[in-house]
Amino acid sequence: MKYHPFQRHLRTRFPEVSVSESDNIRSLHLGTDTVQSAMNLDNPPELVLAYSQAMVSCLLFLNQVSHITHIGLGGGSLVRWFNEFFPEIKQLAIEINPQIVSIANAMFNLPDENDNFEIVIADGAEFIRVMQSNTDIILTDAFDGEQIIDELTETEFLTDCYNALTDKGIFVTNLWSADKRYQTFVKRIEEVFNNKVIEVSAARHGNVAVMGLKSLPENISEEQLKKRAQQLANDTSTDFLHSFHAIRSNNQKRKLW
């Protein structure tokens, strides 16, 4: 873990971080009872929360992934999952709150930092500006305990993410469908990513993983996508088939194949 040396400003006041356990599920909270991250103590790599399963559906559209950037670490659910099933992928986690990193390391089975996994304490909206075309996936899941951080929905941030991605890269953000600003956020992503946007509703609780793609996958049929979802589901014990059906039903007006 290291601090970003070029940080212009770093907030020093954050929501209180707390941890709870129920029915063998350990959960992370930020100042409210809302579960921000969860881990099955018997199976730490499992993606317990439905929204995190929706977020990894971006793998349906990428044949090769070398590098992933996480904006927001939380309890490290996505980091653990990728480390378990795709250990060859390099991961960079950017987290603004040092206390979250400490708790994730102590209580949420984060993998040790090494050549394939690094944590940087930084403001994700600022850090992403220094990255240029060198990450395949950006996963944004940063809430203040009640709603997504405003800076991570602005056009400037989305443009910086677009520039940070490789040619076939994908930006993914976790949004709340009941948020009155939801359609505004989606429209901004559409504008930055030239309407190459896919919405994937989670199986529960109203979360939506919204993806912005730098380029649509070539020569992929609906049937091929379904077969890929089935293969990923078999390989990772994760509900990619729900994500496939959500992609098909949520994006009927978009030409995906």
Per-residue pLDDT of the chain (257 residues; tens, 9 = 90+): 666 554 545 555 777 888 999 999 999 988 777 888 999 999 999 999 999 999 999 999 998 999 999 999 999 999 999 999 999 999 999 999 999 999 999 999 999 999 999 999 999 999 999 888 899 999 998 766 556 777 888 999 999 999 999 999 999 999 988 889 999 999 999 999 999 999 999 988 789 999 999 998 877 888 999 999 999 999 999 999 999 999 999 888 777 66
| Separation of alpha carbons 73 and 97, rounded Å | 9
Ordered strands of the 37-40 beta sheet: 17-22, 25-30, 37-40
Alpha-carbon torsion, ordered 143, 76, 12, 155, to 10 deg? -40
Please count the other Cβ atoms lying within 10 Å of the Cβ belonging to residue 206. 14
| Separation of alpha carbons 25 and 19, rounded Å | 10
Which residues form the catalytic set? 141
Domain boundaries, the chain: 2-250
Specify the pTM.
0.92
| Separation of alpha carbons 154 and 251, rounded Å | 23
C-alpha distance from residue 3 to each of 79, 98, 119, 123 (Å): 19, 9, 9, 10
User: Considering only the top CATH level, what class is 2-250?
Assistant: alpha beta
